[in-house]
Amino acid sequence: MRKKFIAGNWKMNTNAAQGVELAAALAKAIGSSTDVEVAVCPPALYLSAVGAAIKGSSIGLGAQNCHHEAKGAFTGEIAPAMLLDVGCKYVILGHSERRQLFHETNADVNKKTIAALAAGLTPIVCVGESLAERQANKTSDVVREQVQGSLAGLAGEQILKLVIAYEPIWAIGTGVVATPEQAEEVHADLRSLLTSRYTAAVADKVRIQYGGSVNAENAKTLLSQPNIDGALVGGASLKADGFLAIINGAK
Ligand code: PEP
């Protein structure tokens, strides 16, 4: 039985006080409840402050990116061990904004995933097709290639330590959510890819989140699909009430 996992990707939003306020409200409401796994991923600068605000609750702390090297002359970058050092448990990797705006390739995401796993972080590895790719019936080819490239060389026991997020680009931040059927079709396809690359037992344990305009209204139906194991939430994770409603939809 895969535990549902809801993660909030705050992207480049909030200031320190707003982030702490949001995190404290979530921590107060969620407390030590563990029926749904919950994480917040604030901007890197606020990780420590947000980490302090969720301390004592069951909410995990996540970062939005990392570098693949452990240390050295990489101005502006953050190593996986540094994220661990400030209390992170998770790191989002290969988000479509990083792939599109910062030109990250599957090979880059693969190096980061390997480094994050080696440091002891749980990577949330994002994949997803563009609207043009969906309209050209290339969704399966695109997401399969992204998963194979981003997770290249990983053994079954490493796959069990990460989470995949299927995030169709056309649904991110647009208010156009994938239908439960569209999302479920891709999730089931990815699980069958994992079955063929690893074993059915491994594939059955890997959590695959859906991301793209998830909100309090649509979360429950999406999360009731057999292969949708949680959500990566952008905009709707910036308000405590809305994010808590999504978490409730996972119960
Ligand atoms: C995201 O950026 O990961 C995301 C899913 O954003 P939104 O929920 O705003 O579509």
Domains and CATH numbers, the chain: 5-249 (3.20.20.70)
Residue nearest to atom 3 of ligand 1 (CA): 234
The pLDDT value given to residue 188: 98
Distance 223 CA to ligand 1 centre (A): 15
pLDDT in tens, 89-118: 999 999 999 999 999 999 999 999 999 999
Q: What percent of the chain is helix, strand and coil (3-state, nearest 5)? A: 45, 15, 40
Catalytic residues: 95, 167
Distance 71 CA to ligand 1 centre (A): 30
Q: Is the dihedral of CA 176, 177, 181, 184 positive or negative?
A: positive
Residue nearest to atom 8 of ligand 1 (CA): 234
Cβ–ligand 1 distance for 211 under 6 Å, the answer: yes
Percentage of residues in the chain having pLDDT higher than 70: 100
The pLDDT value given to residue 148: 98
Distance 63 CA to ligand 1 centre (A): 15
The pLDDT value given to residue 1: 85
The pLDDT value given to residue 118: 98
Cβ–ligand 1 distance for 214 under 6 Å, the answer: yes
37 DSSP 8-state letter? E
φ/ψ of residue 166, rounded to 5: -90, 115
The DSSP-derived string for 123-184 is: EEEEE---HHHHHTT-HHHHHHHHHHHHTTT--HHHHTT-EEEE--GGGTTTS-PPPHHHHH
Residue nearest to atom 1 of ligand 1 (CA): 234
Residues of the chain with pLDDT under 70: none
User: Element (H or E) spanning 84, and its range?
Assistant: helix 80-85
Cβ–ligand 1 distance for 212 under 6 Å, the answer: yes
